[in-house]
């Protein structure tokens, strides 16, 4: 199982949100590159980066920071936040991203997600963020009319197999993740699931691994000391 420590960028700083609410942003560092290097030193091979400014605005205002991380570390970086066109996908891949995450775009412009996955095989994932089981978009500020589970089935049916699934209610709470939904998702043939949101213990990581989750994203639990990244990477 892959471990993706997370760096969320807002205004050029490393922050974490609670339940996707921008008003709860807590700053942990003013230097995302330094944080990424420390994660690499602690054994991380992968990194999950979200441009929170981009998620709201649909632009690439923090791309220069992300390019510094990809060029000055050995981490395999996946990038999400505001990626709503093929041009933006290409921008991040050219900046050194290993994988690009489509969120709002995959919901509102499904053919774009299908086209991107065909143009860049193995380098596109879809972020399925849910509130009360329904897919949320626009930086989690708007809720759609499709359930997360049904949307995952739709993605697999279109040949898009990599999904990053977040229960927004759990995100940033450090109170445990939604294990029930991951049990359902890992039962969908062909779907590769990355669990995100609320994972806060080694035991939870073991449960997710044993149920067949492909990867886990770790955020606030690392920043607040509930999980030690070196210990996590040594085991997983």
Q: Which listed residue (129, 167, 171, 214) is catalytic? A: 129
Distance of CA 44 to the CA centre of its chain: 15
- The reply to whether 129 belongs to the active site is yes
Are the C-beta atoms of 25 and 17 separated by less than 8 Å?
yes
Catalytic residue from among 8, 51, 53, 162: 8
Q: Return phi, psi of residue 103, to 5°.
A: -120, -90
Alpha-carbon distances of 10 from 20, 30, 31, 161, 207, rounded to whole Å: 13, 10, 11, 29, 32
**φ, ψ (nearest 5 deg) of residue 192:** -105, 115
Residues with Cβ within 8 Å of residue 21, at least 6 apart in sequence: none
Q: Using CA atoms, how far apart are residues 16 and 94, in angstroms rounded to an integer?
A: 27
Task: Report phi then psi at 156, rounded to 5.
Answer: -60, -40
Active site (annotated) includes residue 167 = no
Q: In the 8-state DSSP scheme, what is residue 140?
A: T
Catalytic residues: 8, 129
């Amino acid at each position: 199982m892959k471990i993706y420590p997370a760096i969320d960028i807002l205004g050029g700083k490393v922050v974490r949100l609670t339940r996707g609410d921008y008003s709860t942003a807590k700053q942990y560092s003013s230097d995302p590159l330094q944080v990424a290097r420390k994660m690499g030193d602690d054994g991380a091979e992968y990194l999950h980066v979200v441009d929170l400014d981009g998620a709201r605005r649909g632009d690439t205002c923090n791309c220069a920071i992300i390019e510094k991380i990809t060029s000055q570390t050995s981490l395999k970086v996946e990038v999400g936040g505001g990626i709503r066109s093929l041009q933006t996908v290409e921008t991040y891949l050219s900046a050194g991203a290993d994988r690009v995450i489509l969120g709002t775009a995959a919901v509102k412009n499904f053919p774009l997600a299908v086209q991107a996955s065909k143009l860049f095989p193995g380098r596109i994932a879809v972020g399925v963020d849910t509130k009360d089981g329904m897919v949320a978009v626009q930086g989690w500020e708007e809720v759609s009319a499709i359930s997360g589970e049904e949307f995952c089935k739709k993605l697999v049916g279109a040949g898009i197999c990599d999904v990053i699934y977040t229960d927004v209610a759990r995100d940033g709470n450090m109170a445990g993740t939604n294990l029930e939904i991951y049990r359902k998702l890992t039962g969908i043939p062909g779907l590769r699931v990355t669990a995100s949101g609320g994972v806060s213990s080694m035991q939870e990581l073991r449960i997710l691994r044993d149920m067949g989750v492909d990867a886990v994203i770790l955020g606030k639990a690392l920043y607040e000391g509930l999980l030690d990244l070196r210990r996590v990477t040594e085991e997983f």
